[in-house]
Amino acid sequence: MSRLRLASWLAACLSLLPACAWAAPVSIVAAENFYGDIAQQIGGSDVTVTSILQSPDQDPHLFEAAPSTARDIAAARIIVQSGIGYDDWMAKLAQASNGGAARLLVVAPLAARKDGDNPHIWYDPKTMLAYAAVLTEKLAAADPAHAADFRARLAGFQASMHPVLEKIAALRAQYSGTPVTATEPVSGYLTDAVGLRNRNAAFQVAVMNDTEPSASDLAAFEQSLKTRAVKLLVYNSQATDQLADRMRTLARQSGVPVLPVTETEPKGMTYQAWMLDVLNKLQQALAQ
């Protein structure tokens, strides 16, 4: 090959490098699998998604990051964290990586949630819609060639959330004001959206924060179950302890329906299907 032809060939190859860069999928690392699921729905084949917490059998409060987690975060172009104390380890790992803080998308501020609020913000469908919209624009900025695809998939996701929002409205019309309780406020945003009246909030916060409820809070919780002053007990099946198990047993003995929920999206489900499943089971329990 002559030098002139070689130079032309090299120039042609170099001119293709930007196109190759654009074609590379955008790498996303999400702290929890519900954020990763939505990222995959919007990104499609134009993204690669790694979700760190993804097993409904794993207690998220006992999670310890492995070296592979730090490597994934360091290589990601977008890092998703829930925030307000739920997954602080994610921010620490992001900040430890080169430029990680700039690549970090924290969901809680998108819904005006702050420290001290219930950290289980993904049980609020409106929060997830806000997250999906912001993520879409971040993807469009990272990969402008596929911006129209990202926005089209966002529209599809938004449409697929209509049955969830309609179910919430229907349950609210039927059950608003119904007193319920929970071992932890895991699904609190969802039951609030339905209009259910939450009892024993201080007990739930104590259990969530792994502290001992006061004697008066414990007595009030037991009394609400024994007298059936509440129509439902929501039970966190993913992070249990002896006290929560005791309340679940007491509820069943008293004839109060028990609704188990998880903090992590169940395997084989989309976020939309998960929320609909919880709402359908909530309806069945309240109908008792």
Among 9-13, 146-150, 192-196, 244-248, the range scoring the smallest mean pLDDT is 9-13
Tell me if 100 sits within 8 A of 69, measured CB to CB.
no
| 163-287 CATH pick, 3.40.50.620, 3.20.20.80, 3.40.50.2300, 3.40.50.1980 | 3.40.50.1980
Asked if the model's pLDDT at residue 140 lies above 70, the reply is yes
Q: pTM for the complete prediction?
A: 0.89
* pLDDT at residue number 6: 41
- Using CA atoms, how far residue 286 sits from 125, 198, 268, 281, in Å, is 21, 14, 26, 9
Q: What is the pLDDT of residues 9-26, one digit of tens each?
A: 444 444 444 444 446 999
Residue 92: name the closest of 119, 118, 116, 64 by CA.
Answer: 64
* pLDDT at residue number 101: 84
Q: Domain residues of the chain, as ranges? A: 23-160, 163-287
Q: Name the CATH architecture for the domain at 23-160.
A: 3-Layer(aba) Sandwich (3.40)
Residue 134: name the closest of 114, 153, 154 by CA.
Answer: 154
pLDDT band at 36 (very low <50, low <70, confident <90, very high): very high
* pLDDT at residue number 12: 46
Provide φ and ψ at 79, rounded to 5°: -120, 130
* pLDDT at residue number 68: 85
Q: What is the pLDDT of residues 79-114, one digit of tens each?
A: 999 999 999 999 999 988 888 888 999 999 999 999
Separate counts of helices (H) and strands (E) for the chain:
12, 8
Q: What is the pLDDT of residues 166-190, one digit of tens each?
A: 999 999 999 999 999 999 999 999 9
Work out the average pLDDT over 228-249: 93
CB atoms within 10 A of CB 269: 16
Topology match between the domains 23-160 and 163-287? yes
Q: Give the chain's mean pLDDT.
A: 91
